[in-house]
Each structure stands twice: as structure tokens, then as C-alpha cells.
Amino acid sequence: MKRTWSTELVKSYMEPHRDEEKAGPMAKYMKNKFPYLGIKTPERRQIFYTIVKENELPSLELMQQEVWALFELDEREYQYVAIELLAQFKKQLTIDDLAFCQKLIEKKSWWDSVDGIAPGLVGGIVKMNRAEGEAVMVEWAKSANMWTNRASILHQLKFKKDTNEELLFATIIRHAASKEFFIQKAIGWVLREYAKTNPEVVRQFVHNNELAPLSKREALKHIK
């Protein structure tokens, strides 16, 4: 009989794989922002797959509660599991879930969690309802929180030919003068990805606008 999803259930699968020898270097790689269990990504994903296979996912009504409970645990792997759990509901997420995504983005913020949420989950929600979703992204771009700004830049990362150029470029210009490494990097990353679809437009945009050297370098990396 399958058991009901809970934080304690997840911990019962994860804790036996704790590896202090791996945990130290993993924490160091992430600037010691968070403690780690010491479970590498491939193993963690296999554990998550096993949890999902052997147990019942929470209901849609309880999903946010369960995701948040995992986000509040100390070790970083639990935040990764939380994002993977949220992704299980990707097709059911709506505009109303963007506020929860923002809450996650602004909790224990670092590039790994933000980048796990912004392109796939936030981008997916926006794509299903462009008008309302893009209005929220405009507000995120104005946020005083740098990580929410980064998410607004990166939400179109995987959009390819469906990219709203006007919104993309307006968001980039808003943050073009930022001294924040993670903003400069996000700008370069999203432009580099869009250059795979429309290289000449990206080339012209970079040529005609004042961007940080890091952003320019990243944007033009694969344009001949």
C-alpha cells in the first residue's frame, strides 16, 4: 500500500544516503550558503523517482504546503526535492501560482534554486497565459529583490521562436546597468540562448545597447 507524501516520508528516503565526505565539498562549491546531505544530483534524482514511484503525491490542494515544508529544511538537497515536487504539478500550475513561485525564489535564494524555478516552472505558467503572466513578469522586473529580477529575465530562456522580444529587451535594458554578477550573467545567458533562434537580432541589440562586458561576452559567445 502506497503511503501519503509527507516531509518525514521524504526524509526517511534521503537521510540514509547522507555522506559527510561529499557534503563538505558540495557546500563549499555553493560558497557555504547552505549545509548539504552530500547526495549528488544523479543519486538524488533517483531517490526522488523512487519516492514518487512507491508513494502517493500530495493532492494539488496540499502541494504548496508540502513544497514549502521541504524548503524550510536545512539541507540544500531538500530544496531541490521541493522544486522537483513542484515540477510534478507543472501542467496544473496557473497564474495564481506565480506568487508562490516568487515566495520560493526569495527563500534561501541562490542561483541553483532560482534557475530551477524560473525557466521551467515560471516560464511554463507565463506561456500558458501570456498577457497576465507577462504583466506579472514586468512587476518582477521592478522588484527590489535581485533574485526575482533574475527570474524575470530568465523566464523566457527556453521560449525560442515564442520569445516576446519586446518584453525580453525591455527587461534587459531595465537591468543593463546592474553591477550584480548574477544579473549580468542572466542577461548574457538569455541573449546567448535566444541567439540560437535569432542571432542577427541579438547581435544588433548588443551592438545598439550599453551592456556590461560580461553580458556582451556571454551573449555573443556562439555568434560567428
Q: 66 by DSSP, 3-state: which?
A: helix
- Mean pLDDT calculated for residue range 206-214: 98
Average pLDDT, the chain: 97
pLDDT in tens, 64-93: 999 999 999 999 999 999 999 999 999 999
The pLDDT, as a whole number, for residue 114 is 98
C-alpha cell of 60? 494539488
Q: Decide if pLDDT at 2 tops 90.
A: no
Nearest to 169 by CA among 111, 212, 209: 209
Q: Quick check: 75 and 44 in contact, CB under 8 A?
A: no
Q: Which residues pair with 153 in a beta bridge?
A: none
pLDDT in tens, 109-124: 999 999 999 999 999 9
Q: Quick check: 23 and 38 in contact, CB under 8 A?
A: yes
Q: Binning pLDDT at 50, 70 and 90, where does residue 224 land?
A: confident
CB count within 10 Å of CB 130 equals 13
The pLDDT, as a whole number, for residue 1 is 78
DSSP H or E stretch at residue 47? helix 41-54
C-alpha cell of 212? 556590461
CA atoms within 13 A on the CB side of 177: 1
Answer yes or no: pTM beyond 0.75: yes
Cα 163 from chain centroid? 18
Nearest to 36 by CA among 95, 112, 94, 103: 112
C-alpha cell of 147? 533574485
Distance CA 40, CA 29 (A): 12
